[in-house]
């Protein structure tokens, strides 16, 4: 036995919908009067018209599209945060490596100046550390 399809609230006012049978099936909001498309099923002995009318009422293409887009955006945000964390870890390791080179006196003086400039840029990118 199939489960009865529950009607969603009115997408415009939140009112309660009702199924109307006037030879055709239609779902209409009891509060604002907005209605679904009419469904006509000849010799409807199995309630197919009721099911189709309820499905028509419950169809929310804009809401479904927004939910799908939000799911994609959430996925992209999760990926961006994961990538950001990975880059932050790489940045920390790079700064530590560059700072470890400060004590190596095998490099010319200009190298140290460039290294300090890079360290400052990397610290700034990491969040303003000085």
Of 13, 30, 84, 23, the C-alpha closest to 49 is: 23
Q: What is the pLDDT of residue 128?
A: 55
CB atoms within 10 A of CB 13: 13
Q: What is the pLDDT of residue 108?
A: 78
Per residue in 44-71, pLDDT (tens digit) is 888 899 999 999 999 999 999 999 999 9
CB atoms within 10 A of CB 47: 13
């Amino acid at each position: 036995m199939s489960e009865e399809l529950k009607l969603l609230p009115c997408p415009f006012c939140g009112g309660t919908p009702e199924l109307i049978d006037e030879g055709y099936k239609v779902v209409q909001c009891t509060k604002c009067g907005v209605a679904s498309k009419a469904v006509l099923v000849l010799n409807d002995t199995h309630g197919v018209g009721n099911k189709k009318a309820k499905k028509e009422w419950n169809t929310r293409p804009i809401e479904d599209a927004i939910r799908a887009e939000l799911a994609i955006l959430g996925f992209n945000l999760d990926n961006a945060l994961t990538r950001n964390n990975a880059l932050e870890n790489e940045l920390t390791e790079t700064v530590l490596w560059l700072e470890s080179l400060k004590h190596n006196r095998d490099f010319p003086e200009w190298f140290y100046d460039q290294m300090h400039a890079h360290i400052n840029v990397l610290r700034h990118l990491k969040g303003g550390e000085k």
